[in-house]
Amino acid sequence: MQANDPNFPAGPYPAGQHILPPPRPSSPSTAGYRLNHLMLRIKDPEVSLRFYNDCFGLHTVFIFNAGPWTIYYLGPRDTQISTLGTSKGLLELYHIPADKDLEYVNGNEYGKGGVGFGHLGFTVPDVEEALERVRRFGFEVIKPLGEDKEEGMGLPEEVVKGKEGKVAEGYKHVFRQLAFVRDPDGYWVEIVPQVVKSPGK
C-alpha cells in the first residue's frame, strides 16, 4: 500500500479519536463487490437458530445438507435465495456432526489459541432492551451497558494489566454504550446502539 494513500493515512494515530479517511474513489473493476456473509461453525442448530433468528431477528433463507455437514444460511427477513448474491448481512452456520467432541474457540479468549475471529455485531434501537431479550431467551450477557473494564474487551493479558499503555478514554466512552453477549457456541455478539453518543452527551 502506498504511503500517500489517503484511505490509509500514516500513523501514529491519536489515542481515543476516530480517524475518518475520505471515501475511496469508485472502482469500476470492483463495482459489484460487497461483503456478503460470515461463517460460523455451530454445535446445535436448534439452539443457534433460536439465538440468531428468534432472539436477533434473522430468518433461515435456506438449509443445505452437504453430506458430512449441514449449512444454515441466515439473513434479514426480506432476503430470499434468489437475492443472496446481492444481499448484505448474511450469516452462514455450519453444523458438522464430526466436530461434536471438538472445542471451538471464539477468538476472544487468549490462552486458548482463539485470537483470530473477534465477534459479530448487531445494531439495535435500544441496547438495554436487547439485553433483556437475550436474558429472557436464556443466553449469557458477557458485558452489560456502562462497563468499561479491559477484562471485558477480549484483549491480551499485557493490555489488561496496562503493560502496553492505558486504553484511551475516548474508546472507553464508546465501549460503555456497547454490550456483548455469548451465542450458543461461545462466539461473542456485540450489540451496538444505532446512535453512539459523543462525550458530554
Q: Which residues pair with 71 in a beta bridge?
A: 64, 94
Percent of the chain with pLDDT over 90: 29
Q: According to the model, what pLDDT value does residue 113 have? A: 64
Q: According to the model, what pLDDT value does residue 107 have? A: 67
pLDDT at 24 over 80: yes
Q: Compute φ and ψ for 72, nearest 5 degrees.
A: -115, 120
Grade residue 1 by pLDDT with cuts at 50, 70 and 90. Answer: very low
Q: Which of 40-44, 100-104, 126-130 has the lowest mean pLDDT?
A: 100-104
Domains and CATH numbers, the chain: 35-98 (3.10.180.10), 119-193 (3.30.720.110)
- Write the pLDDT tens digit of every residue in 142-168: 999 999 887 777 766 766 777 767 777
Q: According to the model, what pLDDT value does residue 194 have? A: 82
> Which among 180, 55, 194, 186 has a CA at the least distance from the CA of 126?
194
Burial of 89 (0-12, 13-18, 19+ CB in 10 A): middle
Kindly report the three-state secondary structure assignment for every residue of 126-165. Answer: CHHHHHHHHHHCCCEEEECCCCCCHHHCCCCHHHHCCCCC
| Residue 160 or residue 136, greater confidence | 136
Rounded distance between C-alpha atoms, residue 37 and residue 147, angstroms: 30
- Write the pLDDT tens digit of every residue in 40-93: 988 999 999 999 999 999 999 999 888 888 989 999 999 998 888 778 899 989
